[in-house]
Every structure is written in C-alpha cells, then in structure tokens.
Amino acid sequence: MNTVFDALFSAFANLSTPMMLFNVVWATLLGIFVGALPGLTATMGVALLTTLTYSLDRDAAILVLICMYVGAIYGGSRSAILLNIPGTPASAATALDGFPLVRQGKGALAMAIATLGSMFGTLVGIVMLIAIAPPLAEAAFGFGSYEFFWLALFGIIISGQLTHSGEPLKGYMAGLIGLSVAMIGSEGIHSYVRFNFDIQQMNGGIDLIPAMVGAFGFAEVLFAMTLPAAQMVEKKSVRAPIRELLTSVWGYKRTVLESGVIGTLVGIIPGVGEDIGAWGSYAAAKRHSKERDQFGKGSQEGLIAAETGNSAVVPGSLIPTLTLGVPGSASAAVLIAALFLHGVRPGPMIMFDQPEMIYTIAVMLIFATIAMGVFGMALTPVFVRVLKVPRTILMPLVFCLCVIGPYALTQRIFDIWVMFFFGVVGYVLRRLNYPMAPLVLGIILGSLLDKSLRRGLILSNGDITAFFTRPVSAGFAILIALIILFSIPPVRRLLQFKRRGGNANSQETSDGKE
C-alpha cells in the first residue's frame, strides 16, 4: 500500500510543474469545447491532437491527450442539455432528462448535476484503475499467443455486438473490414509483403493515425454538414442554489457509486465505449429508482446516472489499454497509437518496463477531473455562446486539421490520400448505420490477432487444437461462440418465445389456483 502511495505522490510531484498545469488547463478546456460542439467527437479530438503532440515530451503529450479525452466526454453533456443534441454519442442518455430540466427552467441545476456526476464517475474509475490494473497486468503476463489471439477476437466481436445490438451483423462486418486493413503490408513475423496492390507506399501497412483521422475526423465533417441546424432552447434558466445542488447529489449517492462501478466495468470490456456505459448506468438506476416514472421527463437521478456512467468509462477503458494492449473504447484505441508514438508499450510488460506509468496516468486523470469540474461550473455562459458557432465556420477548420495532422507526422502526401479514403468510407458506413468502433478495433487488433495466430500454430506444429485446450483459451472460445450464437436473429426470437411462453404458462397456473 505504501508503494502505491509513494508512486502516486511521485507522479503528482512530477506533474505539478507550471508548464504541466498549463497543459492541463488548455487541453481540458479544448476537450470540453470539442465535446460540446455537435459533430465533433472525443475520438476525433484525441486523434487530431495526437498529430500535434509529436514534438512534446512523453509525459506532456500523454497528459494533453488524457485531458482532451476526459474533457470531450464531459463536454458532450453541454449540447445534450442545452440543445437536446448530444455533442458525443456518450451523451445521448444525458439528453433524455437534461433537456426537459432546461425546459422547466432548471438548466443551471442540470448543468451542475451533470458536472458533479462526471467528476464522481471519473474518480470512481480512477480508484478502480489503481486497484485493478496492476494485478491484471501480472495475470496477463501468463498469457501466451493462444490467449492473445482469442482476446483480440473477443474485443472485435464484443464491440460489434454491443455497439449495434439490434444489428450485430453490421458490427461484425465493420470489424472484418478493420481486420482486412490491418493485413495490408509487411506481416509481423517474416516481413512478407501482402495485399499492397503494387503500391510501394503500402509496403509498411496503413498507418493508424491517418486512418483514424479520416474515419473519425473527415467522416464526421461530411456527416455533420448533412445535419439540420440546432436550435437553442429559449426558456431562461434560473441559477440553482448550492444547497439544492448538494442535496440532489447527496440524495443519489447510491446511484453515483453504482453508476461509477458499472461504467468502469463497461470500460474494461474491449471496444464497447462510453455510450454503452451511460445507457447501462441509466437502465440500472431506473430499475432501482423510487421515481422511475420521472425518467425521461426531467429526472435528476437519471441525469446523474448517465453522466456518472459515461465518465467512469474513461479510466475503465484505460485498464485493458495499459495492461493488455487492447483498447477499451475507440478513443482509447487512438491513445494506444499515441503511447507507442511516445515510447510507451502497453501490455503485460508495462508493470516490468514502466511500472510507474499506470500511477502517472491515474494522477493525470485526477488533474483532468479537477479542471473539468472548475470549467464546468464556471463557464456555462461561455458554452452557450460557443454552441452558436455556425457549422459553416467550424467544419472547414476541422477539415484543415484533418489534412495537416497526418501530413505533419510523416511528411507523406500518401497519408493525406489515406485520410481521404477512410473519411469517405467512414461516411458511407455511417450513412448505412455501420458502427465505427469495430472498424477501429479491427485495425488496432489485427496485427495482434495475426501474429498470435501464426505464433501459436508454429509452437503447436500446426495443431489448431492447442487453441482450445488451454483453460483461458477455451473459456474465450466458448464465450465468443455463445455471443455469436445469441446474436443470430432466429436464436434470439426462439429464446424470447420460450421466455414469453414460460411467463404465459406460469400466469395460467396461477389463474387456475385462484
């Protein structure tokens, strides 16, 4: 325990310099604005900022990206509450009760509740990050090629299943597209060039940053330009008394803790994301609430559950990112690329090579949370004005960053064309209602899946049964098989029919007894 406190204190001392604190301020504030503006997402903000941190030292670059991530997830609540338009997908559940509260003249109270909920959710996640990450890294140190193959496949499958639960096939197809992209270029064992289509620039594969900037940046620009203009709510918002605010939050302390734990656990599941954390926390709060009839009509409990849940996913998603090298969300996937860019190698060896990194990132999250709370409480009028920025001014600026960022990293025109290609593909997929998270996870995990599969076959002399006989591998294989089986529409309908039939039979039995 003393070692943990010593590591945290050392990280706190290293990050408390004036320059680092200045980075916390501007990066968190920029993240809040990015999240608040409809059409800009946390993943896009982190991807664009990654291209601009190349000249910074390791800790400063990671701190800036963490603050952008935390700020953007929180910032989405500003437009969700004021406009009924979630600034990020993670804030969709926030709009259900935040916007009705604004219409009731309680906009300031709604904004303050969302701010405190986001702060508490992130803090719960930070505690669980410190408690879970080190032992998980030590457990993962015993993983071999067989386990990492199934872990990579599980990340892609589960993100496809949960992101679009109604149409899991589209999630699986998006994941396969990402895997196909990851197969381009020199493979990781013998450096044999594959699928380069005689284009020499593709011999080294598709760089992750241009692909992500295109899929999340340029595609968002194209998609946002097709959306209708947002309208601000006209009713004046009355400033909430501090006593009412604290009473409201204290009255829902169980919901805050429950939502924080749910959000963190959702974040640990590879590739699921903040939106699932918000909806899961919202559903759990509604199930246990004494005022469930108010949910969707301006419930303060529903608002705080949604905001606590989506913010808790941020530190939760960093747990598998740091210890397994498997991103917990799309934004965490971009962070993996940034960590490699700045000399940090996520995975089981992080506790041996850079054991202080987990605690350093925990302190970075604490700084970002404090800055988020201060700005969230103090700058509500500014957010209202920023949301009125015309899209015709904002989107060209974002497009310029999409072009400049990838080119600045490598000075290759080819990377700009990669960005354009993935931007158009991402836009088309979004119009067809395909999720982006499995696509990104496929690109990120494709190399791990490919190398683990072939290393495992080499170790077993081509015997594929080795992937099913080790306990952890067998567990992952069974879990993946069940997930795919239950996502098949006829199977789901059969299960629903049996459930309804069982309820009907029990009802008939009880009627007969009466």
pLDDT tens-digit readout, 449-463: 888 888 888 888 888
Amino acid at 178: G
84 C-beta neighbours (distance < 10 Å), count: 18
Q: Is the dihedral of CA 371, 375, 377, 383 positive or negative?
A: negative
**pLDDT at res. 21:** 93
* Global model pTM greater than 0.95: no
* Paired strand residues for 193: 186
Select from 458, 459, 455, 425 the least CA-distant residue to 442.
Answer: 425
pLDDT digits (tens, 9 = 90+) for 422-447: 989 988 988 888 877 778 778 878 88
Distance (Å, rounded) from C-alpha 162 to C-alpha 449? 20
Distance (Å, rounded) from C-alpha 357 to C-alpha 344? 9
pLDDT digits (tens, 9 = 90+) for 141-183: 777 888 888 888 887 777 666 554 457 778 888 888 888 888 8
The strand pair at 193-194 and 185-186 is best described as antiparallel
Distance (Å, rounded) from C-alpha 260 to C-alpha 118? 9
Distance (Å, rounded) from C-alpha 514 to C-alpha 507? 11
Distance (Å, rounded) from C-alpha 75 to C-alpha 82? 12
Mapped onto helix, strand or coil, the DSSP state of residue 262 is helix
Alpha carbon 5 to its chain's center: 28
Q: What are the counts of helices (DSSP H) followed by strands (DSSP E) for the chain?
A: 24, 2
Contact predicate 298/283, CB 8 Å: no
Weakly modelled stretches of the chain, pLDDT under 70: 1-2, 38-39, 159-166, 227-244, 271, 380-381, 383-389, 409, 499-514
**pLDDT at res. 139:** 78
Mapped onto helix, strand or coil, the DSSP state of residue 209 is helix
Ramachandran bin of 466, using left for φ above 0, alpha for ψ from -120 to 50, beta for the remaining angles? alpha
Which uninterrupted H or E stretch holds 193?
A: strand 193-194
**pLDDT at res. 23:** 93
Contact predicate 140/323, CB 8 Å: yes
Distances (CA, A) of 242 to 249, 383, 504: 11, 20, 51
Domain boundaries, the chain: 2-144+213-221+238-411
Contact predicate 219/402, CB 8 Å: no
Which residues lie closer than 8 Å to 39 by C-beta, 6 or more apart?
Answer: 220, 221, 223, 224, 227, 391, 394, 395
Contact predicate 341/1, CB 8 Å: no
Contact predicate 27/369, CB 8 Å: no
Helix residue ranges, H only, 51-103:
58-83, 92-103
Distances (CA, A) of 353 to 296, 344, 347, 375, 450: 48, 9, 10, 36, 24
Report the interhelical angle of 357-378 vs 107-140 (nearest 10°).
Answer: 180
**pLDDT at res. 509:** 46
Distances (CA, A) of 420 to 165, 221, 226: 29, 12, 18
**pLDDT at res. 166:** 57
* Burial (Cβ within 10 Å: 0-12, 13-18, ≥19) of residue 455: middle
Which residues lie closer than 8 Å to 9 by C-beta, 6 or more apart?
Answer: none
Distance (Å, rounded) from C-alpha 63 to C-alpha 182? 28
